[in-house]
Structure 1
């Protein structure tokens, strides 16, 4: 049976101001579900045959706008159910729409995602989202908005604001790539519909500037590796540089977290904190090199011999 959505004046209930509440009535399979839309009218100003405010009703245009918006949300959800080939009742329809109305804000998702990353000990990645969150707060004043509010115009204003503050091109690109990741997460969690995705039009790829290559020669690298010193802290710096170089540029944060258990059959095996991906190096000398560092280091006592 087809569902019907309409707003009725609930005249059997009279409020203190002598008005009656307007109720959304959902009818499906001969079962009714009522929900207040938060406004009331004097029954004398309501046309009960046509279920709409009379011409002399105060604030008629505003009331009609609210009614139209309420009915539109339910009709859209009915179309979604039909597209998904899902059966629904008047109650399940109400519950689905009600959850959408109370969907999480941009601020809510940022805070929960940052907390999850910190719980996973992905502190560097969490910092990236925290920096974006703080930047957006400075730009907009607050993030108690919905993701559907972030459209192409909003993004362009944010880009212009960043440029006005003198942000570098790659910094702007990083901000927008992170914001795009948050928006994708919101779609994945059902917080916002994919149709509101603004990055189909606003291209983040344009916000990239290839930095000048910064590298030292192989000769200079070997000078560091072969540097002779007696100071234990200088020796530690050389050892860590050498280890990082031969391990393909391992992140220092990951290096600092390594233990002897990370050496498996002469290979370095570890999970990168930033991406949570498994990495390993096949260099047969890795076990020997790392063991040498550990032998000279007593981390618990802060001693390096």
Structure 2
């Protein structure tokens, strides 16, 4: 029976909701798929022409890749049919995908990084790019294959990160997580066999170390609220920090993108950048004096409350990300000075606003309500997060034992 090789879009999306481009190999009504390692949204696929639509920003490059893979597969299929009479679709796939074993770590990682960047996950892109670069620099080999990334290699890499790069155990684990993600992709796409997988109970185990989340106390926050000897920059940094804290530790990326039009009916209505969730919160009375300080700078209802995003190219996610990163660095610089003036010996940063809310909430608020306030998708995430600040039961137990 005739064999056929066609490019296709598999209707099984990944965790980001993107669909894999593949070469479909059919022989005797049995089908196998050879993955290209590229993923697109369903709306960018032309099922009739079997090409990526022009609406995709990398349509030309992806279509050239598909054409090359299709040509390569057809050439290999003709060779096999002239030398072997009886061959299955899986055998054809194995023969065609053999060159994939030579795909390097760097090649697959570049594809992975472009994918998450294209999905607008710029924070993750920036952090994962650093982690990929760590491995490439350590290997001193741009042609490093996945077979070479074995248990012994990873143990040397972990030592390098700890001794040479001075990274914490948590940061080392984050590096391993990226490598594991890429290794799983390489296995799925036929670039390396599962027998070479270097992770597992008897190999490299990935275990996140416990981290201490430190938040400010009520007294420390009152000290910050009551400071009067602040300059203009310090006062602005305090305002942004308190805005975040008063709204349950809202992320700075969300704070800076709040517009005047998002506030109506005495409530703040906004959509989170991280997971696109829509939220409505009653505007705390404590926020009103802060908002009043920025009222004179309001050009229109669509204007941003805080000035950092006023000149941002809002249609360009990379520009918004860059300005948010610059602003956060600036805020943290002035928050350090504010902590000194308030005689607070804890490290004061924008992120600690979230920890401070959790610290004061403790076990006073039902976990389901905290899940809403934190905007967590899973209550397990909320439980694990809040466990850092819930000490009453352990404190009571200790008191019962030693107070005799």
**Could you state the TM-score of these two structures normalised by the residue count of structure 2?**
0.45
SS at match of 1:283: strand
Structure-to-structure mapping, 1:122-271, within 5 angstroms: 122-165=121-164, 166-200=166-200, 201-205=203-207, 208-228=208-228, 231-260=231-260, 266-271=267-272
Partner of 2:352: none
User: CA offset at residue 187 of structure 1?
Assistant: 4.0
Counterpart-to-counterpart distance in 1, 2:146 and 2:198: 10
Superposition TM-score, scaled by structure 1 size: 0.58
Task: Structure 2: give runs of 5+ residues left out of the alignment.
Answer: 2-27, 29-75, 299-306, 313-404
Q: CA deviation at 1:134?
A: 1.7
Partner of residue 105, structure 1 = 104
Question: What secondary structure is seen at the aligned counterpart in 1 of 2:209?
Answer: coil
Relative to structure 2, which stretch is displaced further, 239-248 or 208-217?
208-217
- Greater relative contact order (CA < 8 Å, ≥ 6 in sequence): 2
Quote the RMSD (CA, aligned, Å): 4.0
Higher strand residue share: 1
Q: Distance in 2 between matches of 1:278 and 1:185?
A: 26
Secondary structure at 2:82 match in 1: strand
SS in 1 for 2:129: helix
Measured in 2, the distance between the counterparts of 1:162 and 1:301 equals: 39
Contact 1:262 1:270 in 2 (8 A): no
SS of the residue 2:128 aligns to: helix
Identify unmatched segments of 5+ residues in structure 1.
4-24, 36-77, 79-86
User: Secondary structure at 1:198's aligned position in 2?
Assistant: coil
Give the whole-Å Cα distance in 2 for the aligned partners of 1:150 and 1:247. Answer: 45
> What whole-Å deviation, never above 9, does each CA across 1:114-137 have from its counterpart, x for those lacking one?
223333332221121111122112
Distance 2:247 2:279 in 1: 7
Question: Judging changes above 3 Å, is the alpha-carbon distance between structure 1 residues 99 and 260 closer, same or farther for their aligned structure 2 residues?
Answer: farther
Match of 1:32 in 2: 81
**Contact kept? 2:106, 2:136, Cα under 8 Å:** no
Secondary structure at the aligned position of 2:81 is classed as: strand
**Deviations for 1:231-278, whole angstroms, at most 9, x for unmatched residues?**
543332222011111222233233323334655873443233xxx413
> Is the radius of gyration larger for structure 1 or structure 2?
1
Q: Secondary structure at the match of 1:234?
A: helix
